[in-house]
Structure 1
């Protein structure tokens, strides 16, 4: 199947009270992203305790569906660290298919990877790798493979593929078939439609409890499926003002990168 110029074949440990303080100055709102280190199976802090630079390095041997998932996990990890106030860079490792990988990553809404030289000095590195693949020294985040299935075209919106991959925990293998991609397509279209409608109502802040639930999810081993479940609850909560729904989705999309506000201003 051809998508976005690249030919591919697809046949936490934190309290709710701490996150409720997110609107206060950073000194009172420091949330800690904990992530499972694939070397030990134990959770570790994703950011350095010295508040120095953190590098998230994606290791992908060649372009393919699993490689895209590795790049996506690295991108979301960078976004989560930024939301927690950590200085962070995304780095792409390897010499093979660099141009093609960067093109595919950009099409999937992954922000550009930096070219990091020796001049940056000491830094904390987190390696994002394919399960059973590269074994660099240091903290490793393992990503399960993407199975090639019969699949379906994602059309002109690669965010469908992004949502399909984000809907499963990175430790679970994914098979991109008609059902998985169809569910992602329907959810994305509905969310963009309702977000555009909610934007027409008076703005309201993200409720403290909801913000805490979102942060608890992604700070606990980057549990993005739980973030999506929070959004499903917000969508159907009868007593929540529409302006608060809008701000909640806009806030969560800083992590998800699904362009949920794309249709703002479109005819109702």
Structure 2
């Protein structure tokens, strides 16, 4: 069972409805006036994580994207952003007039906070919180669009955004991006080290805890906290830690197994 809080009512709703094995997701991209910004990324990311979670639970998913009619260069920029953030491309893309509320039939509609709500076509509404950036003198990236993935590890942006409940506003600063990059480097090295040990199954209690966090309104911060706890738990064998991180990365999409085998490669 996967339960999501419907922004219309505030109640948790099971998705997809009973006896269905296909989750239809529609991501509604806000207007792109001054380039792709952090809020656009967060809306796209939430749709991606929702699809990944459904598939982890044995469901099929189909994601559609509705967006303003964009010039070719912005379409290409959007494609690049989704690629570097590990966001799976939507099955369909539909342009809508900025003056009208977007509409599409779906089980779940993902919109930005404050955006025009979709027409009444049914489905749960997910309202994604705003993203702000601190000015440079306060350690911020430097512009409203500075959280668009760039630099040596763009997936740090993905990790930063996943570390907050999706309805909670997020402030992006240089300091938090540095910390996200540091954590990713550390986790990838740990996963590579654990991969050298005999494989062990994921402990049943950890598996239950992970599924419960995802089922409870996509509690991704709880999932990340669980991984931090597993990392330092000496009672969990290294092989089980590897399997736990690799399994949950199917939802998180942080490329945690990137360094596996690299430290033992011999350069001719």
Q: Quote how far apart the aligned CAs of 1:100 are.
A: 2.9
Query: Please, which of 32, 40, 49 is the counterpart of residue 18 of structure 2?
Result: 49
Q: Quote how far apart the aligned CAs of 1:89 are.
A: 1.0
Other-structure match for 1:27: none
Q: Quote how far apart the aligned CAs of 1:101 are.
A: 2.2
Contact 2:29-2:68 within 8 A present in 1 as well: no
Q: Quote how far apart the aligned CAs of 1:256 are.
A: 0.1
Contact 1:36-1:44 within 8 A present in 2 as well: yes
Other-structure match for 1:217: 213
| C-alpha separation in 2, matches of 1:55 and 1:232 | 32
| C-alpha separation in 2, matches of 1:132 and 1:185 | 30
Residues 49-102 of structure 1: CA distance to partner in whole angstroms, max 9, x if unpaired? Answer: 131432111111223210110000000000011111222111111233344323
Contact 2:26-2:106 within 8 A present in 1 as well: no
In the alignment, does 2:15 pair up with 1:33? no
Q: TM-score, structure 2 length as denominator?
A: 0.82
Other-structure match for 2:163: 167
Higher relative contact order (CA 8 A, sep 6+): 1
Contact 1:91-1:116 within 8 A present in 2 as well: yes
| C-alpha separation in 1, matches of 2:222 and 2:49 | 14
Contact 2:159-2:254 within 8 A present in 1 as well: yes
Q: TM-score, structure 1 length as denominator?
A: 0.82
Other-structure match for 1:114: 91
Other-structure match for 1:15: none
Larger mean CA deviation between 231-240 and 84-93 belongs to 84-93
Q: Quote how far apart the aligned CAs of 1:104 are.
A: 1.2
| C-alpha separation in 2, matches of 1:209 and 1:264 | 26
| C-alpha separation in 2, matches of 1:214 and 1:53 | 22
Gaps of at least 5 residues in structure 1 are: 1-31, 118-122
| C-alpha separation in 1, matches of 2:250 and 2:155 | 14
Contact 2:65-2:93 within 8 A present in 1 as well: no
Q: Secondary structure at the match of 2:263?
A: coil
Other-structure match for 1:234: 230
Query: Please, which of 31, 46, 60 is the counterpart of residue 87 of structure 1?
Result: 60
In the alignment, does 2:110 pair up with 1:128? yes
Contact 2:109-2:126 within 8 A present in 1 as well: yes
Q: Secondary structure at the match of 1:157?
A: coil
Larger mean CA deviation between 73-82 and 84-93 belongs to 84-93
RMSD: 1.8
